[in-house]
Amino acid sequence: MPTRALLLILVSAAMHAGWNLILKTARHKLAFNVFMHASAVTVFSLFWILWQGSIPPPPTPVVFFALGAGFFFAIYHVCLTASYDRMDVSLAYPLTTTGPLYIPLWAYIFLGERLSLLGGAGILVVFLGAYILQMREISWVELSFPLRNIRLPGVLLALSAGVFYSGGSIVDKRAVTVADVFVYTYYLDIALFLILAANALLSDARHRFVEEIRAHWGRGIAAGFVLFLSFTTYRVGLQMAKVSYATSVRQASAIVGVIGGILLFRERFG
């Protein structure tokens, strides 16, 4: 992986954990998530206007890629948000980062990616690291926690988030390979916002949206800006690297998420 790609993806990892930590502070997380994406779209729109004077129309392939990836990532966000309502972020977040375990298989089938033995071993180490991070102590009881509690809503939702994230990552890689990365990322965020907003309108979150804006407008704008940085830096880096490696490096965000959960929310950790 090129050094530039590595650095961009590490920056994205820190930003990714950052907006997750801000999301955790919201009372009504689904409503705040919609607000956060609306803020990110606004920031991105201002970026286009200041950079090029106007917002570029999406080419047809970008529309399909954005809708496809947006579908997977929207479900990821819904599962992620719901898991935070049911368990500590320092426990839930590492479980949501298990996507790299499935991505090499999808990348092999749909993208024709081939990994070296050393690269595959590295991905496995990253997965085990993310898995071990949720343990309060090194023991069989803690090691088997997700398996023993797979039926608990918080655990199942967190693991499901990782599965859906892996699907979106494959669409992501294909998109940044054939389309302008900034145009694609912009319309991906719009697709995400629209899907999440539709989901919120069909749930009780529609009554909480205005409440979240009034109570946490500054926090929502900050989260949107962080989300914008996370989206763009990751996908620029993804252009230069195999998706299996890129998503594994991004799991460094699990470390930031755990540390943030401990320092900001006083969550217990072994």
Residue 22 pLDDT grade (very low, low, confident, very high; cuts 50, 70, 90): confident
pLDDT of amino acid 19: 86
End-to-end Cα separation, the chain, in angstroms: 33
Instruction: Report the alpha-carbon distance of residue 123 to residue 117 in Å, rounded.
Output: 10
pLDDT of amino acid 135: 62
Residues 269 and 261 sit within 8 Å (Cβ to Cβ): yes
Segment 153-167 mean pLDDT:
87
Share the mean pLDDT of the chain. Answer: 83
Residues 185 and 235 sit within 8 Å (Cβ to Cβ): yes
- Torsion (CA) 12, 27, 92, 221 in degrees, nearest 10: 0
Instruction: Report the alpha-carbon distance of residue 178 to residue 264 in Å, rounded.
Output: 41
Question: In the predicted model, is pLDDT for residue 116 greater than 70?
Answer: yes
112: left (phi over 0), alpha (psi -120 to 50) or beta: left
Tokens of 233: 């830096």
pLDDT of amino acid 182: 92
Instruction: Report the alpha-carbon distance of residue 205 to residue 167 in Å, rounded.
Output: 26
Residue 216 pLDDT grade (very low, low, confident, very high; cuts 50, 70, 90): confident
Where is average pLDDT lowest: 29-33, 37-41, 219-223? 29-33
- Residues 94-127 as b/e (b if ≥16 CB within 10 A, e otherwise) read bbbbbbbbbbbebbeeebebebeeebeebbeebb
Q: pTM for this one?
A: 0.82
- Please identify which residue in the block is written with the tokens 């949501």: 96
The residue ranking higher by pLDDT, 207 or 100, is 100
With CA atoms as reference, report the closest residue to 217 among 89, 21, 31, 84.
31
The residue ranking higher by pLDDT, 242 or 206, is 242
Question: In the predicted model, is pLDDT for residue 248 greater than 80?
Answer: yes
Instruction: Report the alpha-carbon distance of residue 124 to residue 121 in Å, rounded.
Output: 5
Question: In the predicted model, is pLDDT for residue 242 greater than 60?
Answer: yes
Within a 10 A sphere around the Cβ of 183, how many other Cβ atoms? 18
Q: For the chain, give the longest Cα–Cα distance.
A: 58
Instruction: Give the distance, in angstroms, between the CA of residue 184 and the centroid of all CA atoms in the same chain.
Output: 16
Residues 81 and 29 sit within 8 Å (Cβ to Cβ): yes
Within a 10 A sphere around the Cβ of 242, how many other Cβ atoms? 20
